[in-house]
Amino acid sequence: MERRKRRGIRRIGKNGIILCALTCFVIVGTVFCMAANGMENRIGVAAARHFVSVESKRAQVMRNFTQKVVNRWRKDAFSVRPGRATGTTEPKDGEKVVYLTFDDGPSENTKKVLDILEQYNAKATFFITGANEECRPYIREAYNAGHTIGLHTYTHNYSEVYASEKAYFEDLERVGKVAEEQIGYVPRFIRFPGGSSNMVSAKYNKGIMTKLVGEVQKRGYQYYDWNLDSGDGAGHGVEAIRSDSMTDRMNQVMILFHDLQTKDATVEALPAVLKYYQDLGYKFKAIDTAGYVCHHSVKN
């Protein structure tokens, strides 16, 4: 009897040791698995971060490459070169397009205008002058954002610009150099101070506009007027600018705005104008070599 009890105790002892060993094994195994899982998770997170970083860098490289290709194409297509036709005065029927154009910049307001345009995914055209040298980097910023850079004049002084054909082209060459410094070439798109229909020029040189409209095209430029005036040049307030800038009577709308430090009303009115045309299904385009060319009737 005693012998059986001792054997039973020994068996229980052995089973206890085995059970204890199994329990320890399970605990150790669980801890090891948890550690391994933690390590795996950390490795996974690190790998994911590395992948995102690599992909991010790769995407940036692709964006930079694409931007360079686009800029190379724009330089070739948009630079002034005699003998090349630009645009059409008879655009496609039914296509609803708004060309937002800003004269007299760059200015302290240029950045605000660019931010608003970005919000509405709208492209525009900036006809620059030689004023506000400290704001000239905005020219490059606008260009890199996909907007078109055109030439207005360097001085915007009517008495100097329209004194003679020679004076006009000397001034145009000066503002062309400003553009070249910022975007790498002299653009072919220009706008005359006062537009091609202005009569102010007659005070300084009778018949000069008739000569200039032909000569600029002969030299490889194309000039652009407008078919809708926002009124900001006359100092109109926000509500008047909004009202004057809105129409549904034309499919091809080229609006005249001004980009000056004093034109805060233009900046304030712009979002409503953009929303108005957006709601009517218009596209916002920057001037290019294939789009609409708006010409006034020359009066001098």
CATH for 239: 3.20.20.370
Q: How many CA atoms lie within 13 A of 274 on its CB side?
A: 23
Residue 28 lies in a domain: yes
Residues paired with 270 in a beta bridge: none
For residues 19 and 22, give the distance between their C-alpha atoms in angstroms, rounded to a whole number.
5
- Quick one: which of 225, 133, 224 has its CA closest to 187? 224
Residues 190 and 275 grouped into a single domain: yes
Task: Tell me phi and psi for residue 232, to 5 degrees.
Answer: -70, -25
Q: How far is CA 5 from the centre of its chain?
A: 94
Residues 71 and 106 grouped into a single domain: no
Q: Which of the pair, 120 or 29, is modelled with greater confidence? A: 120
The span from the first CA to the last CA of the chain, in angstroms, equals 136
Residues 38 and 134 grouped into a single domain: no
Supply the range of the domain harboring residue 36.
1-78
pTM for this entry: 0.80
Out of 50, 78, 106, pick the residue that ends a domain: 78
Residues 40 and 110 grouped into a single domain: no
Per-residue pLDDT at 263 exceeds 90: yes
Q: How far is CA 176 from the centre of its chain?
A: 21
User: What three-state secondary structure class fits 14?
Assistant: helix
DSSP assignment string, 108-175: TTHHHHHHHHHHTT--EEEEE-S--GGGTHHHHHHHHTT-EEEE--SS--HHHHTS-HHHHHHHHHHH
For residues 142 and 188, give the distance between their C-alpha atoms in angstroms, rounded to a whole number.
17
Looking at the chain, the whole-number percentage of residues with pLDDT higher than 90 is 71
The answer to whether residues 197 and 295 touch, using CB atoms and an 8 Å cutoff, is no
Structure confidence by residue, pLDDT tens digits, 54-71:
667 676 666 666 767 888
pLDDT band at 157 (very low <50, low <70, confident <90, very high): very high
Residues 107 and 253 grouped into a single domain: yes
Give the pairing type, strands 97-105 and 252-258: parallel
Model pLDDT, residue 246: 98
Residue type, 287: I
DSSP state at residue 91: P
Residues 68 and 151 grouped into a single domain: no
Residues 23 and 151 grouped into a single domain: no
Model pLDDT, residue 68: 75
For residues 129 and 176, give the distance between their C-alpha atoms in angstroms, rounded to a whole number.
9
Residues 68 and 126 grouped into a single domain: no
The answer to whether residues 228 and 241 touch, using CB atoms and an 8 Å cutoff, is no
pLDDT band at 72 (very low <50, low <70, confident <90, very high): confident
Residues 103 and 2 grouped into a single domain: no
- The number of domains in the chain is 2
pLDDT band at 118 (very low <50, low <70, confident <90, very high): very high
Structure confidence by residue, pLDDT tens digits, 130-143:
999 999 999 999 99
Residue 226 lies in a domain: yes
Residue 42 lies in a domain: yes
Residue 245 lies in a domain: yes
Residue 88 lies in a domain: no
For residues 198-208, one letter each, b for 16 or more C-beta atoms within 10 angstroms of the residue's C-beta and e for the rest, the string is beebeebbeeb
Residues 182 and 272 grouped into a single domain: yes
88 to 67, 85, 190, 290: CA distances (angstroms): 27, 9, 15, 7
Structure confidence by residue, pLDDT tens digits, 171-218:
999 999 999 999 999 999 999 999 999 999 999 999 999 999 999 999
Residue 227 lies in a domain: yes
Residue type, 295: H
Residues 166 and 280 grouped into a single domain: yes
The answer to whether residues 117 and 286 touch, using CB atoms and an 8 Å cutoff, is no
Residues 153 and 106 grouped into a single domain: yes
Q: Which of the pair, 51 or 167, is modelled with greater confidence? A: 167
- Quick one: which of 266, 231, 227, 262 has its CA closest to 247? 227
